[in-house]
Structure formats: C-alpha cells, structure tokens
Amino acid sequence: MHIVILGCGRVGSALAHTLDKQGHSVSIVDMDPEAFRKLHPEFGGATVVGVGFDRDTLIEAGIARAQAFAACSSGDNTNIISARVARETFGVENVVARIYDPRRAEVYQRLGIPTVASVAWSTDQMLRRLLPMGAQEEWTDPSGTVALAEMQVHPDWYGRLVHDLQDTTGARIAFLTRFGAAILPTRETVLQDGDIVHVLLQRSDEDRVQEIFRQPPEAHR
C-alpha cells in the first residue's frame, strides 16, 4: 500500500516510521528540507520537498498510485486543502487531515474529509496522565460476559510488540487509538507512547488483566 504524508513534524514522522516498519510504501512531503532530519536513518520511504497541495509535488510523491493520504502539517488550511486535492483531484479515497481547531474539524467532517482534532486528542491524553484510571468499559455484550475495555498500560510496554501483551494477559487487543485514529494491530505492531489500548476480554477476568497491564513486562517473566 502506498501512502503519502504531508508534514514531517512529530506526528508526520512518527506516522511515517510506523507505516514504513509495517511494510508500506511511504512518501513524506515537507516545505522545509531540514524537517526530514526527524526521520530515522533506517527510514526506507521517499522524501519530497514542496507544498502539500501543489499538483507537481504530490505527483512526485506518488499520489497517483497512493491508496491513502495523511495531512499532518502545522497549518489547518494547508491540511484541509491538501486533503481535498488528494481526494477530489487524484481520487484518493482514504484521506485524513489533522486539524487544530475542533470547530473546523466538525465542518470538514461534514464535507466528507475525516479529521483528527489535535486539541481534543491532546486534552484527552493529558487527562489520562493527570487522572490515571482503571479499565473503562466501552461495550458489553447483552449477556454481560464479554466486554470491550480501554486500559492503561505500564510505560515499559512501549516499544514492545502488541502480541507480547496479548500472550501475557491472554486477552485480545481489539484495536489501538494512535494520534486520534484507530488502527488494527498485526503481529508486527509495536506499542508506542500515547497509544490507547482497547481490549476484548471476559468481564470476570477484567481485574486480573488490568493488573498485568499496570505492571512492567519483567514482572511476568
């Protein structure tokens, strides 16, 4: 899958690394050549200097063959214009734009451009760190036997494979929320700082699973 990313800041570079490690073809665009220094030396994708909504820049980044486009620059206007060009000019169906103003995000959602409102996401992340909570149930089956719960993870799990956490707890990681977007983990997916972990489990086993999540991996060797 070829993915074009606009903006090589903290979000764009992290997204590029994650997708590259998962085996996707990645091109990342930024106006500032110095921005690409944020990329690790092992990054295997392409870097393109230019304006994200410029047709020639996007063509150089491979937009014509892209299955997805992520606008992660620091400007709301640039992100939404670029996202619309990717979808409306080049026909990319899977498009998302990072928006700092949540009121704008709602408007663009109505235009059919999925958005991630950074302020809302950042506020949520800060609350999670200021007020540590236990498992937060998000769904329960009618019988009350199985639950989907959001769980806090000990920081030492970051950098480890999701399936290591699954194997240790015996629960199933249903999906992660990363930078405000949901992703389905594979056996190669690595937990990152800031990930929100959503777990499918037996309700009767919830306390035990949460206790394992709260402890470092070394506690279960």
pLDDT of residue 76: 84
pLDDT of residue 187: 85
With cut-offs at 50, 70 and 90, classify the pLDDT of residue 101. Answer: confident
Is residue 194 over pLDDT 80?
Answer: no
* Lowest-confidence segment of 69-73, 82-86, 108-112 by average pLDDT: 108-112
pLDDT of residue 123: 57
Number of neighbouring beta carbons within 10 Å of residue 63: 22
Is residue 174 over pLDDT 90?
Answer: yes
Number of domains forming the structure of the chain: 2
**Same structural domain for residues 72 and 119?**
yes
pLDDT of residue 28: 96
Domain end position, chosen among 81, 104, 123: 123
Q: DSSP class of residue 145? A: S
**Same structural domain for residues 96 and 43?**
yes
- List the CATH number of the domain containing 161: 3.30.70.1450
Supply the range of the domain harboring residue 104. 2-123
**Same structural domain for residues 59 and 168?**
no
Q: What are the pLDDT digits (tens) for 112-141?
A: 666 676 655 555 555 555 555 566 777 888
